[in-house]
Amino acid sequence: MMGLSAKDETLYASLTGELPSLLSKVLLHSSHLPSLPAVALQVLEVARSPNASLSDYASAIEHDPGLTARLIAVANSVHNLRSAHPAQTSLEATQRLGLDATLATVLSFTLFPGPHAEKAALQTWQRAVIAAVVASQLAHQLCPTQAGSTFTLALLQDIGILAFLSAYPDEAELLYADHQLPHAQLTHAEHDRFGSDHTHVGAWLAAKWGLPDNMVHAIYQSHDGFFTDDMATLCLRLSGPMADAWLSPEPSTALALLLKQLAALDTIPIQAIEALFYQLSQQLELLTDILELTLPVRVDSRTLLADAQQLLYQHALALTARLDSQQQQLSALQRHNTALEERSRIDPLTQLANRAWLEEQLRERFALCNEHGRTMSVVFIDLDHFKVLNDQYGHQTGDVILESFGKTLASLIRTGDLAGRYGGEEFLIILPDETAQTAQHLAERIAQRLHEQPIIDVGQEAIYITASMGIACLSDGDFRDERELIDAADQSMYSIKRSGRRGISVYGRD
Ligand SMILES: Nc1nc2c(ncn2[C@@H]2O[C@H](COP(=O)(O)OP(=O)(O)OP(=O)(O)O)[C@@H](O)[C@H]2O)c(=O)[nH]1
Domain-terminating residue out of 300, 317, 334: 317
> Ligand 1 centre and the CA of 497: distance in Å?
14
Residues 6+ apart with CB under 8 A from 362: 378, 430, 482, 485, 486
Residue 54 sits in the same domain as residue 126: no
Q: Please list the helix, strand and coil fractions of the chain in percent, rounded to the nearest 5, in that order.
A: 65, 10, 25
Is residue 274 located within the same domain as residue 365? no
Does 273 share its domain with 135? yes
Query: Is residue 15 in some structural domain?
Result: no
**Domain of 192: which CATH number?**
1.10.3210.10
Is residue 25 domain-resident?
A: no
- Dihedral angle over CA of 226, 229, 231, 235, nearest 10: -10
Instruction: Give, for ligand 1, the residue of 425, 426, 469, 498 to mutate: max count of ligand atoms closer than 8 Å to Cβ.
Output: 425
- Taking the CA of residue 382 as reference, the ligand 1 atom at the shortest distance is 23
Give bridge partners of residue 429 from the DSSP assignment.
379, 419
> Packing angle between helix 90-97 and helix 54-62, nearest 10 degrees?
130
Q: Is residue 357 in contact with ligand 1, taking CB distance under 6 Å? A: no
Compute the distance between CA of residue 42 and CA of residue 492 in angstroms, rounded to an integer. Answer: 107
Distance 381 CA to ligand 1 centre (A): 13
- pLDDT tops 80 at residue 444: yes
* Number of domains the chain contains: 3
CB atoms within 10 A of CB 502: 17
Check pLDDT > 90 for residue 376.
Answer: yes
Question: What spacing in Å lies between the alpha carbon of 424 and ligand 1's midpoint?
Answer: 6
Within a domain: 180: yes
Pick from 390, 422, 498 the residue to mutate for probing ligand 1's pocket: most ligand atoms within 8 Å of its CB.
390
Name the amino acid, one letter, at 335.
Answer: R
Whether residues 103 and 149 fall in one domain: no
| Closest CA to ligand 1's atom 31 | 424
Domain-located, residue 434: yes
Give pTM, 2 decimals. 0.53
190 CB near ligand 1 (under 6 Å): no
pLDDT per position as a tens digit, 25-58: 988 888 777 776 777 777 767 766 667 778 888 8
* 146 and 98 share one domain: no
Statement to judge: residues 186 and 309 lie in one domain: yes
For the segment 323-346, the average pLDDT, to the nearest whole number, is: 81
pLDDT in tens, 146-174: 876 787 788 889 989 988 988 898 899 88
* Edge-to-edge strand list for the sheet holding 426-432: 418-423, 426-432, 376-383, 467-473, 503-506
Closest CA to 214 of 152, 267, 268, 159: 152
CA-based nearest residue to 133, from 216, 54, 77: 77
The closest of 84, 36, 229, 54 to 148, measured between CA atoms, is: 54
**Pairing mode of beta strands 461-463, 503-506:** unpaired
Whether ipTM tops 0.95, in short, is yes
- Whether residues 87 and 133 share a domain: the answer is no
**Which of 84, 111, 138 is the last residue in one of the domains?**
111
Q: Which of 85, 86, 41, 34 shows the shortest CA–CA distance to 63?
A: 41
Residue 382 Cβ < 6 Å to ligand 1: yes
CA angle in degrees (0–180, nearest 5) for 73-77-79:
110
* Residue 339 within a domain: no
406 and 481 within one domain? yes
- Where is average pLDDT lowest: 63-77, 392-406, 416-430, 448-462? 63-77
Same domain as 291, residue 146: yes
What is the domain range of residue 412?
Answer: 355-506
Task: Determine, yes or no, domain membership for 438.
Answer: yes
- CA dist., res. 258 & res. 312, Å (int): 10
Say whether both 86 and 181 belong to one domain: no
pLDDT in tens, 59-116: 888 888 878 887 887 777 654 455 557 778 888 888 877 766 677 677 777 776 555 5
Does residue 482 sit in the same domain as residue 417? yes
Using alpha carbons only, what angle is made at residue 237 by residues 236 and 241, rounded to the nearest 5 degrees? 110
Q: Is residue 170 included in any domain, yes or no?
A: yes
CA dist 436 → 366, 369, 408, 411, 440 (Å): 16, 15, 21, 20, 6
Give domain status of residue 279, yes or no: yes
Closest CA to 378 of 423, 444, 438: 438
Say which CATH number the domain at 417 has: 3.30.70.270
Residues in the chain, overall count: 510
Cα of 387 from ligand 1 centre, angstroms:
5
SS3 letters across 456-503: EEECCEEECCCEEEEEEEHHHCCCCCHHHHHHHHHHHHHHHHHCCCCE
Is residue 434 pLDDT above 90, yes or no?
Answer: yes
Q: Residues 260-280: pLDDT tens digits?
A: 888 777 777 777 777 777 777
Which atom of ligand 1 is nearest to 395's Cα?
A: 1
Q: Please give the distance, rounded to the nearest whole angstrom, from the Cα atom of residue 108 to the centre of ligand 1.
A: 97
Specify whether the CB–CB gap between 458 and 397 falls below 8 A: yes
Q: In this structure, are 152 and 279 located in the same domain?
A: yes
Q: Which of 111, 130, 153 is the last residue of a domain?
A: 111
- Position 463, amino acid: I
